């Protein structure tokens, strides 16, 4: 059962978090050039939709992670507690800073208003922080300090 849960957890992370990190990273430059490119607003709308939909699907990642950790008996391990905290921070940044700023920029573009470079730079910063947190969680999941796998 543990291998099955771990497999689902890893697949959910790849399928759900991967698209969010890529689409969120593509959003700021796409927003900057949206009004100058044919169907640029459509591209920005699609990137935002990918971020929203896959972030919802991404809720499966920590749920499956908790189930896997419980099955493995590692719920109190330091690397796991750190990963949980970093995952919560990443989710908080996504919900509080990335998605609302994307909404705001998309609204401006839909109204054919120019996008200020400062707003896209700030969005890129929050997106980069979100991505960095997820990369750190990924490393912790692979390295797992104290692991008996010999890695």
Domain that holds residue 98: 2-143
Backbone angles phi and psi of 59, in degrees to 5 = -60, -25
Q: Is 20 helix (H, G, I), strand (E, B) or coil?
A: helix
**Residue 41 falls inside a structural domain:** yes
Distances (CA, A) of 111 to 29, 55, 86: 18, 26, 36
Range 111-130 average pLDDT: 95
**Residue 81 falls inside a structural domain:** yes
CA atoms of 134 and 15, how far apart (whole Å): 14
pLDDT at 148: 58
**Residue 149 falls inside a structural domain:** no
**Residue 151 falls inside a structural domain:** no
**Residue 21 falls inside a structural domain:** yes
The per-residue pLDDT of the chain, averaged, comes to 92
pLDDT tops 90 at residue 106: yes
**Residue 148 falls inside a structural domain:** no
**Residue 129 falls inside a structural domain:** yes
pLDDT level of residue 147 (50, 70, 90 thresholds): low
Distances (CA, A) of 27 to 4, 96, 125: 34, 16, 12
* Number of compact structural domains in the chain: 1
**Residue 43 falls inside a structural domain:** yes
């Amino acid at each position: 059962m543990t291998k099955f849960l771990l497999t689902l957890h890893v697949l959910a992370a790849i399928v759900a978090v991967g698209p969010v990190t890529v689409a969120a990273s593509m959003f700021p430059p796409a927003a900057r050039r949206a009004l100058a490119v044919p169907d640029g607003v459509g591209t920005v709308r699609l990137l935002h939709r990918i971020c929203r939909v896959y972030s919802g699907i991404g809720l499966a990642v920590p749920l499956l992670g908790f189930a896997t950790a419980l099955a493995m008996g590692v719920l109190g391990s330091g690397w796991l507690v750190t990963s949980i905290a970093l995952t919560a921070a990443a989710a908080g940044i996504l919900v509080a800073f990335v998605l609302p700023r994307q909404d705001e920029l998309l609204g401006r573009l839909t109204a054919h208003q120019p996008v200020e470079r400062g707003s896209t730079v700030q969005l890129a910063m929050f997106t980069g922080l979100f991505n960095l947190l997820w990369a750190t969680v990924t490393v912790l999941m692979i390295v797992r300090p104290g692991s008996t796998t010999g890695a």
